[in-house]
Amino acid sequence: MIVAEFITSAIDAAGFPKERLRELACVGRSNVGKSSLINALVGRKVARTSAAPGKTRLANFYRVTPDGRSAFHLVDLPGYGYARGGEAAAREFEALTGAYFGARSGMFLAGVLLLVDGRHPGLESDRQAWNWLQHLGVTCHVVATKVDKLSRTNRVRHLKELERLHEAPVGAVSVQTGEGLKELWKTIDTLLRQPLTEPGHPPR
């Protein structure tokens, strides 16, 4: 049993929850499946999803308590690459994600799940996001989404390509078939067990 509840939506740092829990943030292009994956992980529809990109515009915090383990925050951040809002939306996105990582990395953030569409490995925007996360020094696990939509050949090819780009194992998930969710929970548990480092204070 996993208990999951919506805590709050924040538009800026003032709205982030005060409760000091470990956090795991979902990052990725708009429409890649961040909110859907959160729902699939907790086994309940806590996050709103949509076939149209740009659904999640705020930072949404969920408090998740897996059976017999400590509670943590799962954070659904707005997606990047949502064209319709133009410059203003891009600035809004940058301000909010910048504020999020500024306020939370080190103190709270145990890791980031960087979601990339399994059908489109190596997109420029995803590579930029990955580089940016590397630069911040946050632990980042890449997850390929929507793998139910891939042919067997492309599946192998795309996952290999992603692992080559990120020089790390890449998870493959589908919220349609449930594939990869168990494995992803194992990765999440490992991320949550890591000691947190404060910015400017490397681990001893």
- C-alpha distances (whole Å) from 163 to each of 111, 141, 156 are 18, 11, 11
Q: How far is the CB of 12 from ligand GTP (least distance, A)?
A: 18
Site string for Mg ion, 34-53 (x = CB under 5 A): -x------------------
Binding ligand GTP (rule: CB under 6 A), the pick from 33, 66, 111, 121 is 33
Binding of ligand GTP by 143 (CB under 6 A): no
**Residue 44 · residue 75 · CB < 8 Å:** no
- 15: burial class by Cβ within 10 Å (0-12, 13-18, 19+)? middle
Q: How far is the CB of 115 from ligand GTP (least distance, A)?
A: 7
Residue 135, number of CB atoms within 10 A of its CB? 8
Q: How far is the CB of 79 from ligand GTP (least distance, A)?
A: 3
Strands 72-76 and 23-28: parallel
At 70, phi and psi to the nearest 5?
Answer: -70, 150
**Residue 186 · residue 143 · CB < 8 Å:** no
Binding of Mg ion by 29 (CB under 5 A): no
> Contact region for Mg ion (CB under 5 A) — 30-38, 92-100, 105-113, 166-174?
30-38
Site string for ligand GTP, 75-114 (x = CB under 6 A): ---xx-----------------------------------
Contact set with ligand GTP (CB under 6 A):
28, 30-36, 49-51, 53-56, 78-79, 145-146, 148-149, 174-176
